[in-house]
Amino acid sequence: MSEARVQIVEDERIVALDLKTSLEALGFTVVGVCASEQDALETARTQSPDVVLMDINLGVGGDGTRAARRIHEELALPVIFLTAYAEQETLARAQQSLPYGYVLKPYELRELVATIRMALVRHASERARYRAEERLRLATEAAAIGVWEWDAANDRFEVEGPLEPLLGGEDGPLARGFEALVGRFHEAYREALRGLATDLDELHLRASMNDAEGETRNVELNARGWHDAAGGRRRIVAAMRDVTERTRDEQRLRMADVVYRTLSEGVAILDAHQHVQSVNPAFTRLTGFSLEDVKGLHPDRFLHQQAHGPGFWDAVRRAPERHWQGEVRCLTANGQSFPALQHVSAADDADAPDFHYVLSFSDISDLREAQAQLQHLAHHDPLTGLANRHFFVERLDSELQRVERYGGQLALMFIDLDGFKLVNDSLGHAEGDRLLRTIGNRLRQALRRSDLAARFGGDEFVVVVPMLEHVEDCATLAEKLLQAVSEPIPLSTQRVTVSASIGIAVFPENGKTPESLIQAADSAMYSAKSRGRSRYAFYSSGMARAAVERMRIEQCLRRAILEHSMRIQWQPLVALGSNRVTGFEALARWPASMPPAVDPDRFIAVAEDSGLIVPLGLQILHEACTQGAAWLAAGMQIDRIAVNVSARQLASGRFVQEVGAVLQDTGYPASRLELEITESTIQVIEDSQRQLDALKSLGVSLAIDDFGTGFSSLSLLKHLPIDRLKIDRSFVRDMPHDDNDIAIARAIIAMSHSLGLQITAEGIETETQARFLHELGCDGGQGFHFSRPLSAQDASSLVDRKGH
């Protein structure tokens, strides 16, 4: 205390020097003696005394109270007034500067020293309290903490700190009492706040509330209630701050942790030296390594099949994007490897001491397998596994270039399965697919490694035979392929047998481009098929003409079906005993608008092969029933109209419904319609019993056409709802001179009568044949002896001429 530094402000110099001498004698240090208000301020600013002794009346030097007030406000220095004035007005002015003492002149030195000492003690205490309050204020400001105090007696608040954004200004909830503050909080927290006001206990919570703008905010509240037992005063003091952003950050961190733990990619957190610090569950699932297995290890030691280069990690760290992505091969705990897509990212500041890397990877084995499968599918047929058409043409073109460059020959075989469409339609596509897979395997096994087989489409296959030494070798290979195809094929429900027709074209004799060679082999295949199937044929120029003709027929058929321009001619059906015309068979004929004319045997075969027989047959059926209804309406008594049905129609699955729709649409009686089905059709249609029963339920009659030419069991007739058998013309042609034909006809007629079936003979061309068949017991007949096929007009005239 003896070292206290004192500043004297006194306009009377003698008094000032005496005071200075006395204080210095007592151990004080006088840092300045001033006589004016301005000098007092400047000295206080420069010397920073511990205490200022201030005379109130400085004469011409100014006002001491004003100087004291400015010293207190600017420098917070303690001021003691040393004056001879004690009137009320002077004291009032002096109080405004908050002096630390007021000593009247004349003073005693002991009294003055005591006042100085008390002022210094008070000032030291106030400075300590001020520094503590300043630290608290700065701390609350740095932490964005606001403090409020609630006095229960008057339901009022005092507030310090940044609470206005949360609670509003002077008209906020705090101005309206405690319940208004409680109302700002969400309902889940209100009872806890009300309990604090009642129990005056401690409360620590993080809650959500609406701020002054009505937005939801998260706050952290720490409060305590106080009760002054003596004065009966109840109050609450609380510290509160907005933690909305921190709450959101924590939520994001929790979500990031959930993602980290549930992510399907393996993730490892590495320190600045690339040592593993943490791994997620997917990492363990993908590799088999737990955190205990790999913590502190470099991933190149256990994870990567091939280590990254020495500068890799630093390059990632210093790169602008601070990221790397690429494909690597990773190892599992049991030593197996798998392809992985790996990401390495540098986290935090590259120069920070807590710098980290984040390594993530995903197993792309399935992706690579799928890519391999796609690559395979791009070149192979997915059903048979053979090369597909695109790849075959590329390979053929490459082989042609090789042969052209180095010489030699090359053969192309075009293979078409005989009867596959019928099997596919009757047994279903699933069984048809099984058959094609089996054929594909047999073709692959029958070929050399250098040969290439491909599925060209549907039931068509092609084989390229490079490095051909002798053309004759193609015949040997074709025989081998035909034998492989013809072996019985076990399907789900039964064993089936199919055959093939093979066309062979040779480079360069039959074509010099892939297109011309394929076309030549295709023509040769149709030639083989036309000669009885289950055969092979080499290409010739005549085959090309036949292929062109077949294409023309198919295109004309498509147009004729679209335009409904196919013609129908009517073959009379005659009762042999009376020669009465009992009905007509509807026969499809080539349109007159599309010359030259094509024989029915030819265009019907093309329609069968192309599948056009289904819409064509439906059109013929509809037109036949329409004409029959017109004849009946005109008073002609026709017993029946017969219409041929192909195997493909019957196997389509819609034929019964189509027949019913035609009968309903045309109004033709079902009892006068007879559908003719070949014996071979019944043999190949698996559910022929059900199909024929369904047709019979419509009321139509059923006939087996060309009977005797097939190989089905005769006992089958006992179970099928057949009304008529038609003896094939091949057994009638040589009657009555061929004993074998007579024996066959007699047997068929006898069997028909025993089964209660009607019998009709086809191809009767002479009166002798008609009379002989009648004597054998045949009911009816048709053929050129009675009439050639007629137009509808001529047919109606024939019926009229016969008395009907």
Given this model, what pLDDT does residue 408 score? 82
Q: Between these two residues, 428 and 618, which has the higher pLDDT value?
A: 618
* pLDDT above 80: residue 114: yes
Q: Percent of the chain having pLDDT more than 70?
A: 94
The one-letter amino acid code at 184 reads R
- Check whether the bond before 490 is cis (ω within 30° of 0): no
- Quick: pLDDT tens for 490-523: 888 778 888 899 999 998 888 888 998 998 999 8
SS3 669: coil
Given this model, what pLDDT does residue 133 score? 76
Given this model, what pLDDT does residue 98 score? 87
With bands split at pLDDT 50, 70 and 90, how would you rate the model's confidence at 60?
confident
DSSP letter for each residue of 406-455: H--EEEEEEEEEETHHHHHHHH-HHHHHHHHHHHHHHHHHHS-TT-EEEE
What are phi and psi for residue 34, nearest 5 degrees?
-125, 150
Sheet holding 5-9: strands in order across? 29-34, 5-9, 51-54, 79-83, 101-104
Given this model, what pLDDT does residue 1 score? 46
* pLDDT above 70: residue 692: yes
With bands split at pLDDT 50, 70 and 90, how would you rate the model's confidence at 547?
low
Rounded Cα–Cα distance for residues 803 and 578 (Å): 12
Q: Which of 85-94, 539-548, 597-606 has the lowest mean pLDDT?
A: 539-548
Given this model, what pLDDT does residue 713 score? 47
Given this model, what pLDDT does residue 709 score? 66
Given this model, what pLDDT does residue 690 score? 83
In terms of Cβ atoms closer than 10 Å to its own Cβ (0-12, 13-18, 19+), residue 176 is: middle
User: Cβ of 296: how many Cβ atoms within 10 Å?
Assistant: 9
* pLDDT above 50: residue 803: no
Mean pLDDT on 183-203 = 85
Q: Between these two residues, 768 and 471, which has the higher pLDDT value?
A: 768
Mean pLDDT on 703-723 = 72
With bands split at pLDDT 50, 70 and 90, how would you rate the model's confidence at 341?
very high
Beta bridge partners of residue 537, listed in sequence order: 503
Given this model, what pLDDT does residue 2 score? 52
Given this model, what pLDDT does residue 170 score? 66
Rounded Cα–Cα distance for residues 400 and 379 (Å): 19
Rounded Cα–Cα distance for residues 503 and 522 (Å): 6
Query: In this structure, what token pair is assigned to residue 737?
Result: 């001179």
Domains of the chain: 5-138 (3.40.50.2300), 143-247 (3.30.450.20), 263-368 (3.30.450.20), 380-539 (3.30.70.270), 556-801 (3.20.20.450)
With bands split at pLDDT 50, 70 and 90, how would you rate the model's confidence at 404?
confident
Residue 374 CA, distance from chain mean position: 17
Mean pLDDT on 765-793 = 93
- Check whether the bond before 736 is cis (ω within 30° of 0): yes
Is the separation of the CB atoms in 49 and 7 below 8 Å?
A: yes
Classify residue 504 as left (phi > 0), alpha (psi -120 to 50) or beta: beta
Q: What is the dihedral of CA 11, 13, 16, 19, to 10 degrees?
A: -150
Is the separation of the CB atoms in 40 and 34 below 8 Å?
A: yes
- Quick: pLDDT tens for 128-187: 888 887 787 777 777 678 888 888 888 888 887 777 777 777 667 777 888 888 888 898
- Check whether the bond before 615 is cis (ω within 30° of 0): no
Q: Is the pTM here over 0.85, yes or no? A: no
Q: Which of 108-112, 202-206, 539-543 has the lowest mean pLDDT?
A: 539-543
Mean pLDDT on 334-342 = 91
Is the separation of the CB atoms in 386 and 380 below 8 Å?
A: yes
Beta-strand relationship, 780-781 and 567-575 = antiparallel
pLDDT mean across residues, the chain:
86
Query: In this structure, what token pair is assigned to residue 612?
Result: 């056009």
Is the separation of the CB atoms in 217 and 211 below 8 Å?
A: yes
Beta-strand relationship, 356-363 and 266-271 = antiparallel
Highest mean predicted confidence (pLDDT) among 44-58, 93-107, 193-207: 44-58
Mean pLDDT on 729-734 = 90
Q: Percent of the chain having pLDDT more than 90?
A: 35
Given this model, what pLDDT does residue 802 score? 40
Given this model, what pLDDT does residue 331 score? 92
Query: In this structure, what token pair is assigned to residue 294?
Result: 């790999």
Count of H helices and E strands in the chain? 30, 30
- Quick: pLDDT tens for 347-386: 866 566 667 889 999 988 888 888 777 777 778 888 898 9
Rounded Cα–Cα distance for residues 559 and 611 (Å): 14
Given this model, what pLDDT does residue 771 score? 92
With bands split at pLDDT 50, 70 and 90, how would you rate the model's confidence at 659?
very high
* pLDDT above 80: residue 552: yes
With bands split at pLDDT 50, 70 and 90, how would you rate the model's confidence at 95?
confident
